[in-house]
Chain A
Amino acid sequence: MVYLSYGYQLDIPVHDLIEEFRLHPMVKRLIKGGQLLEYSAHLTPVAGINAAPPKLYGNGYLVVGDAAGFLLHLGIIIRGVDFAMESGRLAAEAVTKAHDLGKYDEESLSIYGKLLEGSFVLRELRTFRNAHKVLIDPRLYNDYVRMINNLLRRYFEVDGTPRKLGSTFLESKGKLTLIDLAKDAIRLVMNL
């Protein structure tokens, strides 16, 4: 997955990047014996309901799934299939009601808005409204991953020098400062 807003910082094109990823020893191992059946690409709205269209229903239309911004991006997981299914189901319910009324204008379809309000879809998406703002920080995927790797390597390596957790940690944190760590920890806890 590539955040388009960081696309400017790429030094190799994404179609090459994916091959480097695929041939990374960790990934290669997991897909060993696989076959290339199809090559595809897909955009997905990580800003969730912040990127939703201003209106989710109107005269003759209802907006569901990704198009409605019903996507939750929580770092290593992207969740949107369940929201797409549930919003689709609620939209079908709204259309059935509108069918009974024989009208498909904004007012008759507004039941969709009410159904969404009562559903897990908006509840979840609102709870994590700002998650992407924290998760988009490149530090999480660079400096922190490096820090965790360094820390574990230093801690478990047997080279005859004693390892105390505190000093190992300070050695491993690289260019991250304690203030960075504290700020990021607070931001993560507040938004996730």
Chain B
Amino acid sequence: MSLDRKIPIEERLNSNAWDVDQRPHIRIIDPEQCRKCDKKPCLFLCPARCYTPGPDGTVLFSHEGCLECGTCRTVCPENNIEWNYPKSGFGVQYRFG
């Protein structure tokens, strides 16, 4: 993989080892809150782009690429994110620290 260009996030995430649980470990509690949240920091601060803009000011969440950093939970001004680690054995498997 050439490093001389911007590597799309999907490609970067593909370099990781995962065992994704079907059941999401993170959940947006109330989509209505997201519509009222004007800054939507989750869109800017999730390093894995798990949060993407949805229709009508909503936000869509997908847990597959989650790096388990905890940022979204910390920055959501509405406390609108239910956050857990994936079930034991699942999730991202860091091989290099």
Question: A residues bordering B, Cβ < 8 Å?
Answer: 2, 4, 7-8, 10, 12-16, 18-20, 22-23, 28, 31, 34-43
Question: B residues bordering A, Cβ < 8 Å?
Answer: 1, 3-7, 9, 12-13, 15-16, 39, 41, 43-49, 67, 69-71, 74-75, 92, 94-97
Contacts of A23 in B (CB 8 A): 4-6
- A8 CA to B1 CA in the complex, in Å? 33
Is A31's CB under 8 angstroms from B3's CB? Answer: yes
User: Chain A binding site: helix, strand, loop or mixed by DSSP?
Assistant: loop
Number of inter-chain CB pairs below 8 Å: 77
Known: A38-B16, A42-B69. A14 touches B3 (CB 8 A): no
Is B74's CB under 8 angstroms from A38's CB? Answer: no
User: Chain B binding site: helix, strand, loop or mixed by DSSP?
Assistant: loop
Is B48's CB under 8 angstroms from A15's CB? Answer: yes
> B88 to chain A: closest CB distance in Å?
19
Q: Which residue of B lies closest to A4 (CB)?
A: B75
Is B45's CB under 8 angstroms from A10's CB? Answer: yes
Question: When the two chains form the complex, which single residue of B9, B15, B44, B48 contacts A7, counting CB atoms closer than 8 Å?
Answer: B44
- A39 CA to B46 CA in the complex, in Å? 13
Question: When the two chains form the complex, which single residue of A4, A34, A40 contacts B45, counting CB atoms closer than 8 Å?
Answer: A4
Is B71's CB under 8 angstroms from A36's CB? Answer: no
> B93 to chain A: closest CB distance in Å?
10
